[in-house]
Amino acid sequence: MEESKYVGKSTVRIDGKAKISGAAKFIEDIDFGADLLYAEVVESKFAHAIINSIDTSEAEKFPGVVKVVTGKEFPYRFGLYMHDRYIFAQDRVRFVGEQIAAVIARTPAAARKAAKLVKVDYTELPNVLNVEDALKKDTFLLHPELGNYQHVPWFFPKPDTNISHLRKVRKGDAEKAFKEADFVFEDTYTVPRYAHCAIEVHGTIGLFDNSERLTVWTASQSPYTQRHLFAEALSPLGLTHKDVRVITPFVGGGFGGKAGVSMEIIGAALATTVKGRPVKVLWSRAQEFYNTYQRQGLTCRIKVGVNKDGKIIAMDNTLYWDAGAYVEYGANVVNAAGLSASGPYNIPNVKIDSYCVYTNLPPGGPYRGFGYSEFLFGLESHMNEIAKNINIDPVQFRRINAIREGDILNYGGKMNPNGLIEAIDKVAEAIDWGKKEYSDDPNKAIGKGIALFWKAPAMPPNASSSAFLKFNEDASLNIMISGMEIGQGLLTVMAQIAAEVLSVPPEKIRVETPDTDRNPYEWQTVASHVTWGCGRAVERAAIDAREQIFDLIERALGKERSSLYLQDECVKSKKDIEFSLPLKDFIINGIMKEDGTYRGGPIIGRGMFMPEFSSALSDPETSQGGKPNVHYTVGASAIKIEIDRQTGKMTIPKAVLAIDVGRALNPNLIKGQITGGLLQGIATVLYEDMRYSDKGKLLNASFSDYKIPTAMDIPAEVVSIIIETPQPDGPSGARGMGEHTMIPAAPMIANAVEDALGIRIKSMPVTAEKIALSMINENIKADIINS
Amino acid sequence: MSENQFDYVKPKFLNEALDIISKSVNPFILAGGTDLIDMIKEGIVQPDMVVDLKGIEQFNQITFKNDILTIGAGVTFSQLIVSKVIKDNFPIIAELSRTVASVGIRNRATMIGNICSAVPCMDSGPLLTSYEAMIILAGPKGERKVSAENWFINSRKTAIEKGEIVTGISIPYPGKHAGCFVKLGRYEGEDLAQVNLVILALSDGNFRVSFGSVAPVPVRAKKIENLINGKTISHTLIEDAFNIIEEEIKPITDIRASKEYRMHMAKIMFERGLNAALSRLNGAGPEYGISVI
Query: What pLDDT, on the 0 to 100 scale, is given for residue B2?
Result: 46
Mean pLDDT of A235-247: 96
For residue A2, pLDDT beyond 80: no
**Whether pLDDT at A780 is above 90:** no
Asked whether this chain's domains A297-407+414-441+455-459+617-780 and A463-609 adopt the same fold, the reply is yes
Could you tell me which of A362, A127, A146, A384 has the C-alpha nearest to residue A262?
A362
Across the interface, whether the CB atoms of B191 and A699 are under 8 A apart is answered no
State whether A647 and B268 contact (CB < 8 Å): yes
A727 vs A633: CA distance, rounded Å: 9
> Is A705 part of the contact surface with chain B (CB cutoff 8 Å)?
yes
Q: φ and ψ at A446, to 5 degrees?
A: -110, 135
CA distances from A213 to A479, B16, B152 (A): 26, 59, 62
Q: In sequence order, what are the residues at sequence separation of 6 or more whose Cβ sits closer than 8 angstroms to the Cβ of residue A98?
A: A43, A44, A89, A291, A325
Q: Is A780 on the interface with B (CB under 8 A)?
A: no
Residues of B in contact with A773 (CB under 8 A): 258, 260-261, 264
| Mean pLDDT on A140-145 | 98
Asked if residue A787 has pLDDT above 80, the reply is: no
Q: What is the mean pLDDT of chain A?
A: 97
For A767, nearest residue in chain B (alpha carbons): B186
Tell me: domain A463-609, CATH 3.30.365.10, correct? yes
Nearest by CB to B186, which of A646, A687, A773?
A: A687
Q: What percent of chain A has pLDDT over 90?
A: 98
Task: Please work out, in degrees rounded to the nearest 5, the angle formed at the alpha carbon of residue A360 by the alpha carbons of A355 and A366.
Answer: 55
Residue A555 in this model has a pLDDT that exceeds 90: yes
Q: Give percent of chain B with pLDDT exceeding 70.
A: 99
Q: Measured between alpha carbons, how far is residue B80 from residues A170, B104, B290 in Å?
A: 66, 14, 17
Interface contact B256-A710, CB threshold 8 A: no
Q: Does B149 touch chain A (CB under 8 A)?
A: no
What per-residue confidence (pLDDT) applies to B4? 75
Q: Which of residues 182-221 of B touch A (CB under 8 A)?
A: 186-192
Looking at residue B1, its pLDDT comes to 41
Q: What are the extents of the domains in chain A?
A: 33-125+214-282, 297-407+414-441+455-459+617-780, 463-609
Residue-wise pLDDT tens digits, B58-69: 999 999 999 999
pTM exceeds 0.95, yes or no? yes
Domains and CATH numbers, chain B: 1-173 (3.30.465.10), 177-281 (3.30.390.50)
SS3 A642: strand
Alpha carbon distance A130, A358 (integer Å): 9
Q: Cβ contact (<8 Å) for B260 and A773? A: yes
Q: Please tell me if residue B25 touches chain A, with a CB cutoff of 8 Å.
A: no
Q: Give the bridge partners for A53, in sequence order.
A: A121
A76-118 residue pLDDT tens: 999 999 999 999 999 999 999 999 999 999 999 999 999 999 9
The answer, for A77 touching chain B at a CB cutoff of 8 Å, is no
Q: Do A704 and B264 touch (CB under 8 A)?
A: no
Identity of the residue in A109, A700, A767 whose CB atom sits nearest the CB atom of B255: A700
Helix axes A745-757, A768-786, angle to 10 degrees: 30
Q: Is B293 close to A647, i.e. CB distance below 8 A?
A: yes
Average pLDDT over residues A270-275: 98
Quick check: A384 and A401 in contact, CB under 8 A?
no
- Under the banding of pLDDT at 50, 70 and 90, the label for residue B43 is confident
Please indicate if any CB of chain A lies within 8 Å of the CB of B2: yes
Q: What local confidence, expressed as pLDDT, does residue A785 receive? A: 72
pLDDT tens digit sequence for A592-629: 999 999 999 999 999 999 999 999 999 999 999 999 99
Q: Is the peptide bond before A765 cis (omega within 30 degrees of 0)?
A: yes
- Interchain contact A704–B (C-beta under 8 A): yes
Size of interface A-B (CB pairs under 8 A): 51
ipTM at complex level: 0.95
Closest CA to A118 of A95, A98, A96, A101: A101
- Would you place residue B3 in the very low, low, confident or very high pLDDT band (cuts 50, 70, 90)? low
Q: Distance between CA atoms of A505 and A523, rounded to whole angstroms? A: 28
Nearest to B188 among A113, A712, A767 (CB): A712
Nearest CA in chain A to B192: A704
For A772, which of B2, B255, B264 is closest by C-beta distance? B264
Judging contacts by C-beta atoms under 8 Å, the chain A residues touching residue B292 are none
Q: Which of A109, A644, A691 sits opposite B3 (nearest CB)?
A: A109
pLDDT tens-digit map of A444-468: 999 999 999 999 999 999 999 999 9
User: How would you classify the pairing of strands A99-105 and B195-202?
Assistant: unpaired
Using CB atoms, pick whichever of A699, A712, A769 lies closest to residue B257: A769
Q: What are the strands, taking DSSP E only, across A381-439? A: none
Asked if A411 and A626 count as a contact pair (C-beta separation under 8 A), the reply is yes
Instruction: Look at B190 and A710 and tell me if their CB atoms are within 8 Å.
Output: yes
Contacts of B257 in chain A (CB under 8 A): 769
Name the nearest CA neighbour of A168 among A185, A187, A154, A186: A154
Cβ-contact A129, A361 below 8 angstroms: yes
With beta carbons less than 8 A apart as the criterion, state whether A257 and A526 touch: no
Q: What is A270-306 written as a DSSP string?
A: HHTTSTTS-EEEE--HHHHHHSS-BBPEEEEEEEEEE
Residue A212 vs residues A30, A242, A452, A729, B58: alpha-carbon distances, Å: 22, 11, 53, 43, 63
pLDDT bin (cut points 50, 70, 90) of residue A1 is very low
Res. B99: pLDDT tops 70:
yes
**β-pair partners for A188:** A301
Report the topology of domain A33-125+214-282: Aldehyde Oxidoreductase; domain 3 (3.90.1170)
Q: Chain B: residue nearest A713 by CA? A: B188
What per-residue confidence (pLDDT) applies to A782? 75
A401–B contact, CB cutoff 8 A: no
CB contact, 8 Å: A689 with chain B? no
Say whether B190 and A687 touch across the interface (CB within 8 A). no
What's the CA gap between B1 and A772, in Å, rounded?
43
- Considering only CB atoms, which chain A residues are within 8 Å of B255? 691, 699-700, 705
CA distance A110 to chain B (A): 8
Q: Which of B189, B256, B265 sits opposite A710 (nearest CB)?
A: B189
* pLDDT tens, residue by residue, A179-234: 999 999 999 999 999 999 999 999 999 999 999 999 999 999 999 999 999 999 99
* pLDDT tens, position by position, A286-307: 999 999 999 999 999 999 999 9
Instruction: Evaluate if residue B42 carries a pLDDT over 90.
Output: no
Secondary-structure class of domain A297-407+414-441+455-459+617-780 per CATH: alpha beta
Query: Residue A148: pLDDT above 90?
Result: yes
Whole-angstrom CA distances from A560 to A565, A589, A590, B213 are: 11, 22, 18, 83
Q: Is A691 on the interface with B (CB under 8 A)?
A: yes
Mutation for testing the A interface, residue in B38, B186, B291, B292 having most A CBs under 10 Å: B186
Compute the CA torsion angle B138, B140, B144, B149 (nearest 10 deg): -80
- pLDDT confidence of A764, banded at 50, 70, 90? very high
Nearest CB neighbour to A713, from listed B2, B187, B264: B187
In this predicted model, what pLDDT tens digit does every residue of B101-150 receive, in sequence order? 999 999 999 999 999 999 999 999 999 999 999 999 999 999 999 999 99
Closest CA to B169 of B65, B30, B71: B71
Rg of chain B over all Cα atoms, to the nearest angstrom? 19
Chain B nearest C-alpha distance from A709 (Å):
7
